[in-house]
């Protein structure tokens, strides 16, 4: 056999071929979704010598595309950039299940602009759908500053999108509106599921789920005279602790330059500094009402005063703040088992209040996940003050999560993984190790 007829073994040295084969080897291995979201865009951008690579997933009711993986744009875009299927050139690729290209994307009529991206710097655009068994799973996009994508690029990206599809399918991202939870018990009685939300405070954390709690709805009965002196002492201590904590939060807000966003904290400082408020609570406790009953009555009196003045928004808000503060004082003054939280937990709820920073923070939570109701400006400010990994807008949170379940908050991508796999826990540990090394 002549040398010309021998088969040729293509060794390493062809950068593009090496990149494709390395990607195939990478994608063939089981891996956590977060690893796929981080690594696939990076590797694909290198193969195509692209400035940007983005991976979008179909979420919600099946009509929304969310950027969950990216290289080339600011990390703040992940989980925030969203399109309807059919919207923008990426949405068109997913809607028609066909590639879409442009050498001048910002000039295209279908182009969707996002201020946060600044993608006009990369006008050469190629998007392909990521297909599932019955429809689209997402979209894959590469962009360059210059240099058109060729036919072979379109074909290759479509093929790589098919490889990514297998990893996405294995992630079990739950469509909260369409799927129903299986029968389960708290503390690990459900299969692993992944819920999606919007990243707010970056980072990743692992812990047991704990729902945000409030004091018992019914205050305890009046106590014996022998307890009055101790109650008054506990109440004074609670006021002092709350005052110190609120002032600390106000100082932290100032250091973060939150400005008007944290102005409500000054109201709490004023309430705690109101001598009439303290004296009224102390008077009721001295009369034997007990701390919970006394603070509950003070809150009702403030609420009635606000209600007697027609449409005074300031007083109505102040009344709500007093009620929130009274709840916290009850907890600070005397232990309430119903409102105690496990340490180093993942807190879940609809929204955060100052109560949560005063009380829940004592348990040193490691992460927060809030429902789609948790998007108010005050909640967002408190999340920044809490300063732990946090995601908001998690649909179906209470349908799938229960106290005691182990959960992983990935606030870099906007994911809440309930009952994460060993691989996902290992990936989190590696992430922590790398972060500590960077610090």
Q: Give me the CATH number covering residue 46.
A: 3.30.450.40
Question: Is residue 79 in some structural domain?
Answer: yes
SS3 category, 319: helix
Beta carbons of 141 and 99 less than 8 angstroms apart: no
What's the number of domains the chain is made of?
Answer: 3
- Last residue of one domain, picked from the residues 280, 303, 338: 338
Which of 338, 361, 395 terminates a domain? The answer is 338
158 and 97, same structural domain? yes
Torsion angle defined by CA atoms of residues 255, 260, 262 and 268, in that order, rounded to the nearest 10 degrees:
120
231 and 201 in a single domain? The answer is no
Q: Are residues 323 and 236 in the same domain?
A: yes
The answer to the question of residue 3 being in a domain is: no
Chain segment 214-252, per-residue pLDDT in tens: 766 555 554 555 488 888 898 899 999 999 999 999 999
User: Does the pLDDT of residue 143 top 50, yes or no?
Assistant: yes
Domain end call among 338, 373, 405 = 338
Classify residue 318: in a domain, yes or no: yes
**Residue 2: inside a domain:** no
Co-location of 403 and 271 in the same domain = no
133 lies in the same domain as 281: no
Predicted TM-score of the model (pTM): 0.84
Q: What is the pLDDT of the chain when averaged over all its residues?
A: 86
Please tell me whether residues 252 and 124 are part of one structural domain.
no
Angle at 213 between CA 211 and CA 217, to 5 degrees: 140
CA 51 to CA 149: how far, in whole Å?
A: 13
List, in sequence order, the alpha helices (H) in 5-150.
15-27, 33-48, 88-96
Beta bridge mates, 128? 140
Domain holding 364: CATH number? 3.50.30.10
* CATH code assigned at 301: 1.10.274.10
Domain range for 143 is 13-170
| In contact, 370 and 379? CB cutoff 8 Å | yes
| More confidently predicted of 420 and 302 | 420
Q: Are residues 388 and 410 in the same domain?
A: yes
- Mark whether 290 and 390 lie in a shared domain: no
Do 158 and 231 have their domain in common? no
The answer on pLDDT for 118 being more than 80 is yes
Looking at the fold, whether 333 and 388 belong to one and the same domain comes out as no
pLDDT the model gives residue 176: 41
Q: How many CB atoms lie within 10 A of CB 363?
A: 15
Q: Is residue 153 part of a domain?
A: yes
CB 322 within 8 A of CB 308: no
Q: Report residue 358's pLDDT band, with 50, 70 and 90 as the boundaries.
A: confident
Q: What is the mean pLDDT of residues 333-346?
A: 73
Res 299: pLDDT: 84
Q: Do 362 and 289 share a structural domain?
A: no
Same domain, 130 and 91: yes
**For residue 431, how many other CB atoms are within 10 A of its CB?**
17
């Amino acid at each position: 056999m002549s040398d010309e007829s021998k088969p040729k073994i293509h060794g390493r040295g062809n950068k593009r071929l090496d990149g494709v084969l390395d990607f195939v080897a990478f994608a063939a291995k089981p891996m956590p979704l977060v690893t796929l979201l981080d690594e696939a865009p990076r590797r694909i951008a290198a193969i195509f010598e692209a400035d940007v690579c983005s991976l979008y997933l179909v979420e919600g009711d099946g009509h929304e595309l969310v950027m969950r993986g990216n290289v080339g744009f600011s990390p703040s875009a992940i989980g925030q950039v969203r399109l309807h299927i059919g919207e923008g050139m990426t949405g068109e690729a997913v809607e028609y299940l066909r590639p879409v290209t442009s050498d001048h994307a910002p000039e295209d009529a279908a182009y969707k602009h996002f201020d946060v991206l600044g993608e006009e710097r990369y006008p050469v655009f190629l998007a392909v759908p990521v297909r599932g068994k019955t429809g689209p799973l997402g979209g894959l996009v590469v962009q360059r500053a210059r240099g058109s994508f060729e036919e072979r690029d379109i074909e290759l990206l479509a093929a790589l999108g098919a490889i990514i599809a297998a990893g996405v399918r294995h992630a079990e991202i739950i469509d909260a509106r369409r799927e129903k939870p299986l029968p389960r018990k708290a503390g690990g009685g459900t299969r692993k599921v992944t819920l999606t939300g919007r990243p707010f405070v970056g980072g990743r954390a692992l812990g047991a789920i704990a729902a945000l709690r409030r004091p018992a709805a019914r205050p305890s009965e009046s106590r014996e005279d022998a307890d009055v002196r101790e109650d008054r002492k506990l109440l004074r201590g609670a006021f002092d602790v709350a005052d110190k904590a609120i002032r600390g939060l106000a100082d932290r807000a100032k250091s973060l330059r939150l400005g008007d966003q944290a102005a409500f904290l000054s109201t709490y400082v004023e309430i705690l500094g109101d001598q009439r408020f303290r004296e009224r609570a102390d008077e009721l406790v001295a009369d034997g009402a007990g701390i919970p009953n006394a603070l509950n009555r003070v809150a009702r009196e403030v609420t009635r005063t606000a209600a007697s003045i027609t449409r005074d928004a300031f007083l109505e808000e102040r009344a709500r703040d007093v009620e929130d503060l009274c709840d916290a004082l009850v907890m600070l003054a005397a232990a309430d088992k119903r409102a105690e939280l496990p340490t180093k937990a993942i807190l879940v709820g609809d929204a955060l209040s100052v109560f949560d920073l005063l009380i829940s923070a004592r348990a040193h939570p490691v992460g927060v996940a809030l429902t789609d109701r948790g998007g108010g400006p005050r909640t967002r400010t408190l999340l920044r003050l809490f300063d732990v990994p946090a995601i908001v807008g998690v649909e179906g949170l209470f349908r799938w999560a229960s106290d005691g379940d182990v959960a992983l908050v990935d606030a870099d991508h906007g994911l809440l993984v309930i009952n994460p796999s060993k691989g996902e826990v290992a990936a989190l540990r590696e992430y922590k190790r790398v972060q500590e090394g960077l610090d």
